[in-house]
Amino acid sequence: MTTRLVGCGTALLTPFGGDGAVDEAALRRFVEWQVTEGIDFVVPCGTTGEAVTLTPAEHRRVVEITVEQVAGRVPVVAGAGSNDTRRAIAQSHDMRGAGATHLLHVTPMYNKPPQRGLAAHFRAIAAEAGLPIILYNVPGRTGVNLDAATTLELAAVPGIVGIKEASGDLAQITEILRGRPADFAVLSGDDALALAVVAAGGDGVISVTSNATPKRMTALVRAARAGDLPAARAEHFALTPWMRAAFVESNPLPAKAALHLMGFMGPAHRLPLVPLAERHRPAVQAALVAAGALTDRG
């Protein structure tokens, strides 16, 4: 299996039961559906998977279940990030032991290191992790941006094979695409920008909306990568209402509400996250109907 990721990967939701525990049976069904729908890779225990409220044992178990259910059919990119470099390295070792094929490492949140600190953090992880690493830049959540120059510096580091770019800054993403090594993957971290990023030469997306629409989001990316922009635009326009609805409140609240409507999992979150506000449910349901993910119930 190649270490370079391309295509559409789902940032998997983590289902919880009514007792608050991870719903392992629901997770297995959900992962199986994602793979059979044609997703290119899966990403457990990221932001969308509510990893920050999982215990270390639960985090490992979610990745183990995902690996078992995938059974080698697609790569498994396990979230392993931390704002403590030592903890991030330890988590990387644990995810390797759980069977992950790649690691997703977010920029350190809250402590706001300078660019040289970010570079040192990721270099230290790459030297110890033992698996290929996807950087994750999401300044809206972490409070720090990984500049294009720093990303390109890290792209030359052995073991760092790509970036999930969720800055929302197309100029920054384009600068990375212009200067990257040929074997360094650039993946959009924003569903609404996936078409633009791939059209500019990017490799795909790590998607929230593909939790509910894996086949269509994968079709969008594949068409764009093949240069079939009319087909890619058609999928983008069909999915646009769902792309908007998936962020009417903080991710993953709308996505989990969507998968509950679709019958894949319960609506439970762990505090401080709470279920989607009732006033947003009609918009989510209508968007899923428009995307073909849900039958109009009248």
Query: Which is catalytic among the residues 110, 136, 215, 256?
Result: 136
Q: What is the largest CA-CA distance in the chain?
A: 56
Structure tokens given for 142: 């972490």
DSSP-derived letter for residue 123 is H
Give the integer Cα–Cα distance in Å for 225 and 222.
Answer: 5
Query: What is the signed CA dihedral for 269, 272, 274, 279, rounded to 10 degrees?
Result: -150
Alpha carbon distance 166, 137 (integer Å): 6
Active-site residue flag, 136: yes
Residue 186: which region, alpha, beta or left (left: phi > 0; alpha: psi -120 to 50)?
A: beta
Set 110, 112, 164, 215: catalytic member: 164
Relative orientation angle of helices 214-225 and 229-245, to the nearest 10 degrees: 140
* 110 included as an active-site residue: no
The residues that are catalytic are 136, 164
